[in-house]
Amino acid sequence: MRLKNKSELLLETLKYVLAFTAVAVIGAALISFQGAAPGEAYAAILQGICGSASAIGNTIRWITPCIFTGIAATVAFRSGVMNLGIEGQLYVGAFAATLVGLYAELPGWLLPLACLLAGSLSGLLFALIPAVIKLVFRIDEMITTLMLNYVALWVTEYFTKIVKGASANNNSKAMATPVIQESAELTTLVPRTNASTGIFIALLLVAVVFVIYRFTKVGYEMKQVGENLRFARVGGVRTTRMFISIFLLSGFIAGLCGAVEILGVYGKFTPSFANNIGWDGIMISMIAKNSPVGVALASMLWGALKAGALQMERVTSTNRLTVELIQAMFVLFVTIDYRRLWGKWKDRQPRKRTAGKGKEGGIC
Amino acid sequence: MDTILELRGVTKRFGSLVANREIDLTVKKGTIHAVVGENGAGKSTLMNIISGVHRLDDGEIFLEGKPVNFRSPTEASKAGIGMVHQEFMLFPELTILDNIMMGYERTGKLGLLDRRQVRAEVEELLRTYNFNIPLDELAREQPVAMLQQIEIVKILYRGANILIFDEPTSVLTPAGVEGLFRAMRFLVSKGKTILFITHKLKEVLQVADEITVLKEGAVVGHTTPAETSEEQMASMMVGRNVMLKANKLKKDRGRPILQVTDLQARNDNGIVKLKHVNLTVHAGEIVGIAGVAGSGQVELVQCLYGLRAPESGAILLDGDDITRASCREHRCKGIGLVPQDRMADGCNRAAPIWENCIMGYHIAHGFRSKWLIDRGEAETFAQRVVDEFSVKASSLNEPISSLSGGNVQKAIVGREFLQENKLLIMEDPTRGIDIGAIEFIWKKIEELAASGVAVLLVSQELNEVMEVSDRIEVIYDGQLYDGGLHGELTEAQIGLLMTGGVEDAAEK
Amino acid sequence: MLNTLLGTVTLAATLRLATPLIFAAVGGCFGNRAGVFNIALESFMLTSAFFATYGTWLTANPYVGVLFGILAGVLCAALFGLFVFHLESDGMVVSIAMNLGAWGLTTLMMVALFGVRGSFMDERLVSLPALHFSILEPLGKVNGVLNDQNVLVYLAFVAVAVMWVVMYQTPFGLRLRGVGINARAAQTSGVNILAYKWVSTIITGVFCGVAGAVLPIGGTSVFAENMTAGRGFLAVAAILVGQGNPLLAAASCLLFAYASALSVGIQNLGIPSQLVETLPYVATILVLLIYGARNLKHVSKISR
Predicted local confidence at residue C304, as pLDDT: 33
Of B45, B330, B359, Cβ closest to residue A231: B359
What is the CATH number for C45? 1.10.3470
CA B434 to chain centre: 12
Which CATH superfamily hosts domain B3-238? P-loop containing nucleotide triphosphate hydrolases (3.40.50.300)
Of residues B175 and B142, the one with the higher pLDDT is: B142
Beta bridge partners of B48: none
Q: Which residues contact C46 (CB under 8 A, 6 or more apart)?
A: C102, C103, C106, C212, C226, C227, C228, C232
pLDDT at B233: 81
Is residue A150 within 8 Å of residue C260, measured between CB atoms?
no
Q: Which residues contact B9 (CB under 8 A, 6 or more apart)?
A: B22, B23, B24, B58, B59, B60
Strand B193-198 and strand B162-166: the pairing is parallel
What's the pLDDT score for residue C295? 63
Contact A340 C88 (CB under 8 A): yes
Helix (H) or strand (E) holding B13: strand B3-14
Report the SS3 class of residue A155. helix
Distance CA C191, CA C183 (A): 9
The pLDDT tens digits for C54-97 are 999 999 999 999 999 999 999 999 999 999 999 888 898 899 99
| In contact, B126 and B60? CB cutoff 8 Å | no
Domain membership flag for residue C172 = yes
Q: What ipTM describes this predicted complex?
A: 0.87
The DSSP-derived string for C131-174 is P--GGGGGGTHHHHHHTT-BHHHHHHHHHHHHHHHHHHHSHHHH
Restricting to A residues 228-267, those with a Cβ less than 8 Å away from any Cβ of B are 228, 230-238
From the CA of C228, how many Å to the nearest CA of chain A? 12
Residues 6+ away with beta carbon under 8 Å from B158: B77, B82, B104
3-class secondary structure, C49: helix
Residue B337, chain A, CB below 8 Å: the answer is yes
Predicted confidence (pLDDT) per residue in A132-149, tens digit = 999 988 888 998 999 999
- Res B459 pLDDT > 60: yes
Q: Average pLDDT, stretch B416-429?
A: 91
Ramachandran angles phi, psi of B88, nearest 5°: -65, 135
Judge: C298–B268 Cβ closer than 8 Å, yes or no: yes
Cβ atoms within 10 Å of B177's Cβ, excluding its own: 20
* Phi, psi dihedral angles at B11 (to 5 degrees): -130, 140
Q: How many CB atoms lie within 10 A of CB A9?
A: 11
Closest in B57, B349, B363 to A351, CB measured: B57
C88 interaction partners in chain A (CB closer than 8 Å): 336-337, 340-341, 344
Fold match between domain B3-238 and domain B254-334+423-435+454-508: yes
Higher pLDDT, B31 or B434: B31
Decide if A121 contacts A182 (C-beta within 8 A). Answer: no
Look at residue A357 and tell me whether its pLDDT is greater than 50: no
Per the domain annotation, does C168 fall within a domain? yes
Q: Is residue C133 part of a domain?
A: no
Of the candidates B325, B331, B308, B271, the one whose C-alpha atom is nearest the C-alpha of residue B478 is: B271
Whether B364 has its CB under 8 Å from any CB of chain A: the answer is yes
B242: pLDDT confidence band, cut at 50, 70 and 90? low
Judged by CB atoms closer than 8 Å, whether chains meet at C274 and A157 is answered as: yes
CA C208, CA C26: separation in Å to the nearest integer? 9
- Number of domains observed in the structure of chain C: 1
b/e burial code for range B274-308 (CB count within 10 A of at least 16 → b): beebebbbbbbbbbbbbbbebbbbbbbbbbbbbbb
Mean pLDDT of B262-288: 90
pLDDT exceeds cutoff 70 at A153: yes
Q: Which candidate, B499, B464, B168, places its Cα nearest to that of B340?
A: B464
Check residue A197 and give its pLDDT.
92
- Of the candidates C169, C178, C298, the beta carbon closest to that of B102 is on C178
Other beta carbons less than 10 A from residue C192's beta carbon = 15
Q: Please report residues of B whose CB lies closer than 8 A to that of C181.
A: 91-94
Give the strand pairing for B256-266 and B471-476. Answer: unpaired
| Model confidence at A4: pLDDT above 60 | no
Min Cα distance A340 → chain B (Å) is 14
Position C134 scores a pLDDT of 79
Neighboring chains of B (3 or more beta-carbon pairs < 8 A): A, C
Burial tier of A170 (Cβ tally within 10 Å: 0-12, 13-18, 19+)? exposed
Question: In residues, how long is chain A?
Answer: 364
The per-residue b/e assignment along A266-286, b for 16 or more CB within 10 angstroms, e otherwise, is: bbbbbbebbebbbbbbbbbbb
At residue B199, does pLDDT exceed 80? no
What whole-number distance in Å separates Cα of residue B222 and Cα of residue B207?
16
Task: For residue B184, give Cα distances in angstroms to B82, B149, B164, B194.
Answer: 14, 11, 11, 8
State whether residue B306 sits within 8 Å of chain C by CB.
Answer: yes
What is the domain partition of chain B in residue ranges? 3-238, 254-334+423-435+454-508, 341-420
Measure in Å the smallest separation between the Cα of A334 and chain B Cα atoms: 20
Residue of B330, B334, B314 lying closest to B417 (CA atoms): B334
User: Measured between alpha carbons, how far is residue C50 from residues C43, C47, C102, C119, C223 in Å?
Assistant: 11, 5, 10, 11, 7
Q: What is the pLDDT of residue A353?
A: 38
* Beta carbons of C181 and B92 less than 8 Å apart: yes
**Which of A326, C111, A53 has the alpha carbon at shortest distance from A61?**
A53
Indicate the average pLDDT of chain C: 88
What is the model's pLDDT at position B477? 86
Q: Can you give the pLDDT at residue B508? A: 38
Domain assignment present for C127: no
Q: How far is C200 from C123, CA to CA, in rounded Å?
A: 37
Contact in structure between A226 and A158 (CB atoms under 8 Å): no
**Residue A187 pLDDT > 90:** no
Q: Is the pLDDT of residue A352 over 90?
A: no
What does the mean pLDDT of chain A come to?
86
What gap in Å lies between CA C157 and CA A361, rounded to an integer?
49
CATH class of B254-334+423-435+454-508: alpha beta
Give the confidence band of A66 by pLDDT, cuts at 50, 70, 90: very high
Angle, CA A312 vertex, CA A307 and CA A313 arms, to 5°: 100
In a domain, C125, yes or no: no
Give the residue numbers spanning the domain of C49.
2-117+148-303
- Using 70 as the pLDDT threshold, list the residues of chain C that sit under it: 1-3, 264, 295-304
Contacts of A235 in chain B (CB under 8 A): 327, 331, 359-360
For residues A175-184, average pLDDT:
88
Between the alpha carbon of residue A329 and those of residues A22, A45, C101, the distances in Å are: 9, 18, 7
Neighbours of B332 (CB within 10 A): 15
Contact C303 B101 (CB under 8 A): no
Q: Per the CB < 8 Å rule, is B111 touching C303?
A: no
pLDDT of B54 higher than 50: yes
Task: Please report the residues numbered 282 through 301 in chain C whose beta carbons come closer than 8 angstroms to any beta carbon of chain B.
Answer: 297-298, 300-301
Question: Do B360 and A230 count as a contact with CB atoms less than 8 A apart?
Answer: no
B392 touches A: beta carbon within 8 Å? no
Is residue B391 a contact partner of residue B436, using CB atoms and an 8 Å limit? no
Q: Which amino acid, one-letter code, is at B119?
A: R
- DSSP per residue, C73-92: HHHHHHHHHIIIIIS---HH
Instruction: Return all residues near C286 (Cβ < 8 A) that are at least 6 apart.
Output: none
* Mean pLDDT, rounded, of chain B: 87
A361 pLDDT band, cuts 50/70/90, is very low
The pLDDT score that the predictor gives to residue C299 is 45
Q: Which residues of C touch B308 (CB under 8 A)?
A: 301
